[in-house]
């Protein structure tokens, strides 16, 4: 794929697809920032690790689910990130 096609596809996603599904990027990003700040506060001084990334990705999907609860992809990805985070946190990865 050539770079102009990649950029055209990205533009379509952020101008049409994502905006149609999730609304204003500013509103969504502000909400995500607030949730992430809460996660940082709860984590305390412990350095951020891989299992925290799973929690932060869940936060992104939770905000999106709150914006559009009927969009099943959010719920599926929340479950997936939870499974991955739990596996990492408990040392269950193979």
Beta strands (DSSP E) in 4-93 are: none
pLDDT for 79: 97
For the segment 5-60, what is each residue's pLDDT rounded down to a tens digit?
A: 999 998 988 888 788 888 888 999 999 999 999 999 999 999 999 999 999 999 99
Would you state the structure tokens that stand for residue 88, as one six-digit string?
Answer: 């990492």
Q: Residue 60 sits in which domain range?
A: 24-90
CB of 81 within 8 A of CB of 54? yes
Question: Structurally, how many domains does the chain consist of?
Answer: 1
Residue 86 in any domain: the answer is: yes
Helices (H), 44-71: 50-67
Asked if the model's pLDDT at residue 94 lies above 70, the reply is no
* pTM of the complete model: 0.83
- What is the reported pLDDT for 15? 84
Residue 19 included in any domain: no
Q: Is residue 56 part of a domain?
A: yes
**7-16, 70-79, 83-92: least confidently modelled range:** 7-16
Burial bucket for residue 51 (CB in 10 Å: 0-12, 13-18, 19+): middle
Residue 2, domain member (yes or no): no
Interatomic CA distance for residues 6 and 23, integer angstroms: 22
Asked whether residue 80 is assigned to any structural domain, the reply reads yes
Residue 93 predicted with pLDDT over 80: no
Q: Band of the pLDDT at 64, cuts 50, 70, 90? A: very high
Report the C-alpha gap between 20 and 13 in whole angstroms: 9
In a domain, 13, yes or no: no
């Amino acid at each position: 794929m050539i770079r102009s096609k990649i950029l055209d596809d990205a533009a379509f996603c952020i101008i049409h697809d994502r905006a149609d599904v999730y609304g204003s990027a500013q509103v969504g990003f502000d909400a995500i920032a607030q949730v992430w700040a809460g996660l940082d506060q709860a984590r305390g001084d412990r350095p951020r690790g891989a299992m925290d990334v799973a929690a932060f990705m869940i936060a992104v999907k939770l905000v999106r689910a709150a914006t559009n609860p009927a969009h099943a992809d959010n719920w599926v990805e929340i479950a997936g990130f939870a499974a991955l985070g739990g596996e990492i946190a408990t040392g269950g990865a193979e």
